[in-house]
Amino acid sequence: MVEEKEKVLHLSQGEIVALKKAIMYLKFSCEETESLMYAGSPLINSAFSKIIEVDDLGWAAKEFYSKPHEINEEFILRKLTMMEKESGRPLDDANMEQVFSECLYPFAKK
């Protein structure tokens, strides 16, 4: 993979909050199975980590996300099950575990 040059972006605290909310909606509220492609994206997860780092309340977010969130885990599993049914192609255990973890990010698994 080609290494990408880091870019500088200036955001207001309001923009940071809006981006966090949009990503959390995509991951844990949007029921469209096609959203899994983005909900589990390593690039989106990386961007979210960077957003948390510059957030005025990043310390509180890190504390919150360090704990398992059972409702979000159940939501992701339901969406993955729906995706498997829609596509007619079940994921093997290793892929299911990887996709689940990437979609669940930034939360810790229980």
Residue 80 carries which DSSP code? H
Could you give the angle at the alpha carbon of 36 between the alpha carbons of 35 and 41, nearest 5°? Answer: 105
Residue 1: predicted pLDDT: 64
* pLDDT in single tens digits along all 110 residues of the chain: 677 888 999 999 999 999 999 999 999 999 999 999 999 999 999 999 999 999 999 999 999 999 999 999 999 999 999 999 999 999 999 999 999 999 999 998 87
Question: If you write DSSP's letter for every residue of 34-55 in order, what string do you get?
Answer: GGHHHHT-HHHHHHHHHHHHHS
Distance, in Å, from the CA atom of 38 to the CA atom of 35, rounded to the nearest integer, reads 5
> Which residues, other chains included, contact 103 with Cβ-Cβ below 8 Å and sequence gap of 6+?
27, 36, 39, 40, 76, 79, 80
pTM: 0.89
Residue 3: predicted pLDDT: 78
End-to-end CA distance of the chain: 32
